[in-house]
Amino acid sequence: MLSSIFEPESIAVVGASNNETKWGGRILKNILSDFKGQVFPVNPKEMLVQGVPSYPSVLDIPHEVTMAVIAVPAQLVLDVAEECGKKGVKGLIVVSAGFSETGNEGFELEQKLESIVRKYGMRMIGPNTLGIVNEPTHLNASVIGRLPSPGPISFITQSGTLGLAIADWTIDMGLGLCKVISTGNKADTDDVDLIEYLDKDPSTGVIAMYAEGIKRGRMFMEAARRTKKPIIAIKTGRSRRGAKAVFSHTGSIAGSDEVYSAAFRQAGILRVDTIDEVFDAALAF
């Protein structure tokens, strides 16, 4: 089902905007620039968005929609997700912030969102994500300005800001990337799901990760052991101050550094300390 997110035939952008400084405008522009499938802006206040006919809601689109990017204020996300479920949308990328990373109230909102996603059998990246890039399908459903050159490295990052910086850096350096995945809060799709998906993805040769916290630790280790592809990881939150900063960023608990180091070794994951080392190691495979 993650193929509905990474390989969609059609995309709705809810919160699409003519203002390219807004995320709904920037992401729509990026999708339109390279994606070959159908794209449907959703904005009840506009008839045309970036030259493309706009619809008041997902339910008004007279075509099937495989995946929806949601870029609206947090208080509107549940209604939009419900409409997506009724429409038969299979995958969601929820860019909107204001969920578990903000505290108890946001956590409750995220649980309700998760419940809607499960009710309709959808898959979701996010919330609080900067989106995804899948170079082989020319899909840039993110705030990253340019598609990278083709390459074998797929990069999973819980930090959207870092993912943006890495993509720009690899483009400037001429390094190739296959996928860039900003996981956000991992309410539905987490590292386990992504490792399993990328293990079967013929375009991915190496899995690189920037991890602030791991959910489903035992299953993560089992998935890492099973994969036939090398995994290289940076794990943040080494100090108590760092761990606290990680929680405030994505609502993720960083955990003991020593525990992670031991777990990574047992799972066959190569742990490194810098972005340069990630790509040096990835290019060596």
Q: What is the pLDDT of residues 229-271, one digit of tens each?
A: 999 998 665 544 444 443 444 444 445 677 778 888 889 999 9
CATH class (in words) of the domain with range 131-284: alpha beta
pLDDT in tens, 126-179: 999 999 999 999 999 999 888 888 999 999 998 767 767 777 787 788 788 999
Residue 271 has φ and ψ, to the nearest 5°, of -100, 130
Same-fold call for 3-125 versus 131-284: yes
According to DSSP, the β-strands at 206-211 and 149-157 are parallel
* pLDDT above 60 for 19: yes
Give me the residue spans of the domains in the chain.
Answer: 3-125, 131-284
What is the model's pLDDT at position 17? 98
How many angstroms separate the CA atoms of 240 and 106, rounded?
24
What is the model's pLDDT at position 238? 52
What is the model's pLDDT at position 248? 44
Cα 96 from chain centre: 12
How many angstroms separate the CA atoms of 254 and 57, rounded?
38
How many angstroms separate the CA atoms of 131 and 92, rounded?
10
- Give the pair of three-digit tokens for residue 171: 């483009």
Decide: 24 and 15 in contact? Cβ < 8 Å.
Answer: yes
Q: How many CB atoms lie within 10 A of CB 151?
A: 20
pLDDT in tens, 175-229: 889 999 999 999 999 999 999 999 999 999 999 998 777 888 889 999 999 999 9
Per DSSP, 59 falls in state G
- Give the pair of three-digit tokens for residue 119: 């009710």
The structure's pTM equals: 0.90
CATH class (in words) of the domain with range 3-125: alpha beta
